[in-house]
Structure 1
């Protein structure tokens, strides 16, 4: 099993958040984590501090919790840097309603965009047109309607939007870390 397969799932981290007295969705912090790893090479200590602040606690309640939170960061970084381009945003899975999954994607997007906006225009200067467009598209995703009815069409739409967010995240990481991962031709394909 690869380290990417070991990445904690949404429910596991949501339960960990609850054990710290927080109802916050892990999706928001995962969006922040992804953008911070791409833009700032976020260290383990800084990540632990940020998660604790998000949970409203001074420190993880026990060693296992701290290890799980640090593993989340490490495995996200490994997934972003992996040449298989297997990174997946941490979102509610099929056990959740379509509306809950859409809300999770929206929260992930808002966390991701918060870090990008805080970074200012400096990093954007070197971005490809494809990345700038992908980030602009995410801004619309952050404002999307999340009260979706269960339907095959809405399911397909949500899948496509999630895939767009995933590709934007990987594109941001690869442009900020040239040569990591080693991608076949370097130029993303446009759909």
Structure 2
């Protein structure tokens, strides 16, 4: 059975982690994945190795698990590089409490920033002011209060913070890969706009 076209969500990946004896949340690794794809063009082999290392196993337990983990990388790369700008961090969804969702965002941000910090100042030199500010603002998310009560106000706040993380990841990928996604290339090249 091939899972190639099946969209992976947080629960799918968390279940795969459980099969490997790990209770950790996929959010932290997803943050690392996003930053690694942007900064290092992380290969499928290197990703599988990183996940297995994190799970404390030598290799995925079977082909289905390997395909799911590789599908996770593939769908993230496609979303980050696509022109639709539909990238979403892999975070707990509405089935989880607000506290669990806030914890997921915090862990995602920690993973994302860890890769950026490990890369040093080199990549940062070419960044726009907007990207620098977006990344600097993310540091605040690593200290967010996660013991949230379920309320519309908290829900809205968490949505706004998640949106900030999402935009920062897309901006990082776009600036590290000029021309992909083709955001500015909306005009038909055969009919250039006349100024």
Once residues 133 and 145 of structure 2 are traced to their aligned partners in structure 1, the CA distance between those partners, rounded to angstroms, is 21
Question: Which residue of 2 is the match for residue 160 of structure 1?
Answer: 160
Matched, 1:146 2:146: yes
Could you tell me which runs of 5 or more consecutive residues in structure 2 were left unpaired when the two chains were aligned.
Answer: 187-195
Q: Deviations over 1:41-65 (max 9, x none)?
A: 0000000000001111110000110
Q: CA deviation at 1:169?
A: 0.1
TM-score (norm 2): 0.91
User: How far did 1:143 drift?
Assistant: 1.1
Query: What CA distance in whole angstroms lies between the structure 1 residues aligned with 2:80 and 2:57?
Result: 28
TM-score, length basis structure 1: 0.93
Moved >2 Å (runs of 4+): none
Alpha-carbon shift at residue 7 of structure 1 (Å): 2.8
Task: Tell me the distance in 2 between the aligned counterparts of 1:101 and 1:90.
Answer: 11
Deviation at 1:82, TM superposition (A): 0.4
Q: Is the 8 A contact 1:35 1:169 kept in 2?
A: yes
1:113 and 2:113 matched: yes
Which residue matches 2:55?
A: 55
Whole-angstrom CA distance in 1 between matches of 2:7 and 2:133: 29
Q: Does 1:7 align with 2:7?
A: yes
* Structure 1 residue ranges without an equivalent (≥5): 187-191
Q: Which moved more, 1:146-155 or 1:177-186?
A: 177-186
Offset of 1:6 from its aligned partner? 3.7
* Equivalences for residues 1-191 of structure 1 within 5 A: 6-184=6-184
Deviations 1:54-107 (A, max 9, x none): 111110000110111011111110000000100000000000000000000000
> Root-mean-square deviation (CA), in Å?
1.6
Q: How many residues align?
A: 184
